Amino acid sequence: MTLRIRFISVALALVGFFCISAALHAQVTATAPVTEAPEYNNRWDIYGGAQYSHFNPGPGRNIHANNLLGWNATLTAYLRPLWGIEMGTRGLYGNMSVPANPYNVPASPRMSENLFLFGPTFRFIRRDTWAAGMHALVGAAYGSFDKDFPQGISPNQVGIYNNKLAFGAAVGAWSDYNLSTNLSVRIIADYMPTHYGYTRQNEFAGSVGIVYKFGAIRK
């Protein structure tokens, strides 16, 4: 396990511990029923923002990791103020670094990755101006690696993964800063594993964007 992966794992564990501890502390110290703030009584939220990922497109030592940029869009249905079900899709785009080869593959061919994810999200901390929580999403990832390859040449001939629909997931933490009852700015940090080429890719991903909240939870 690399130092980068260990750092991400420790950071996510600390955030999770903090969120759970805060939630338990709030439950223990509560002495009277609390009315939920209107910012957290919404049934739905829609998120849209910019997405970043650090991705290695091949298993070989001569294939370097590259930075991908794109977008992230999610829809969350809250069943309680504390938790809901999140559904989302992400699109990431960038250029790979390919070593010199006899197949006329350019040094920086384009690639893309699209993810389709689903799972629970937890809003552990809910304050007047900000909130924080975690999500655990699973689904599928589709990687397209042959965009600039000559016809008849497959990516694995130069050490790059072939196009594939693979397992994908995103486990991480998020934080909202409330602009109003219905609008927030959100920051997301994820460990985003995928499984191309029968090996696991340990991606780090981040996103920043706007959340629109609407509807009401019926009690």
Could you list the residue range(s) of the whole structural domain that residue 198 is in? Answer: 3-31+38-214
> Residue-wise pLDDT tens for the chain (219 aa)?
454 444 445 444 444 444 444 444 444 434 334 457 888 999 999 999 999 999 999 987 788 999 999 999 999 999 999 999 999 999 999 999 999 999 999 999 999 999 999 999 999 999 999 999 999 999 999 999 999 999 999 999 999 999 999 999 999 999 999 999 999 999 999 999 999 998 999 999 999 999 999 999 886
Residue 157 domain-assigned? yes
Tokens 């992966």, located at residue: 5
Phi-psi region of 10 (alpha: psi -120 to 50; beta: other; left: phi over 0): alpha
Residue 219 domain-assigned? no
CATH code, 122: 2.40.160.20
Residue 154 domain-assigned? yes
Q: How far is 152 from 216, CA to CA, in rounded Å?
A: 55
Residue 22 domain-assigned? yes
Residue 124 domain-assigned? yes
Q: How far is 189 from 174, CA to CA, in rounded Å?
A: 6
* Structural domains counted in the chain: 1
Residue 82 domain-assigned? yes
